[in-house]
Structure 1
Amino acid sequence: MKNKRLSKESKIAIVCAIASGNLLIQEAMEKYHVAKKSTIISWIKTLLTEARERMENARIDQAVTKRSDLENIGIRMFERIEKLEKERLNYEIEKSSLKERISNLEAKLGDEN
């Protein structure tokens, strides 16, 4: 295959994959048709700082997403608690009403006897 020049973004992605342990240098050479190991080592030397920054930013993004997910779960739980508390209050009101009706019926039965 004819050598294609890879973009800087592609090189950074390759360096990220190697630095994170997801790709070996030999695998990168084969996958991206890089003839010399020294080429990839040169990318690592020149692009590692940018690759690390990108990986850190990705970790931060994941943490923010996870935090948002947890916040959403918390909000849904709070809303569910509020709903259940309203239902409980309605049941308490209904219970009180039923007790009152029972008392009235018992009183009527007592009056009839």
Structure 2
Amino acid sequence: MKQDLAIEAFSALSQPTRLEAFRLLVKQEPDGLPAGEIARRLDVPHNTMSTHLAILSRAGLISAQRHSRSMIYRVELSAVRKLVMFLLKDCCNGQPELCAPLIDEISRSCSTSGACCG
């Protein structure tokens, strides 16, 4: 991942409502959620939520698919994986054993939550 794309993703996630929406969608993988349901669960006006979802979408972190009259939003797990790898690319100065606890914790978290960056 290029630095400018990582910065755009982090910028999109740096606002509380967008971060909450992103985390909610991670929990809903692989089914996703309609925009109205996201707004309802986060108690955010629909038009405001649409703006936040558009920012996350432009950053490549989520995508939307029309289903009847609703837009279903899902996390782009490949983008999340690239973002995590961007952060960990130079991890531990070439000593993978130092990163093992971090990788184990990520694996446990994915197994426990049912959503992962697979």
- Normalised by the length of structure 2, the TM-score is 0.33
> Highest relative contact order (Cα 8 Å, sep 6+), 1 or 2?
2
The structure with the greater share of residues assigned to strand is 2
- With the length of structure 1 as denominator, give the TM-score of the two structures: 0.34
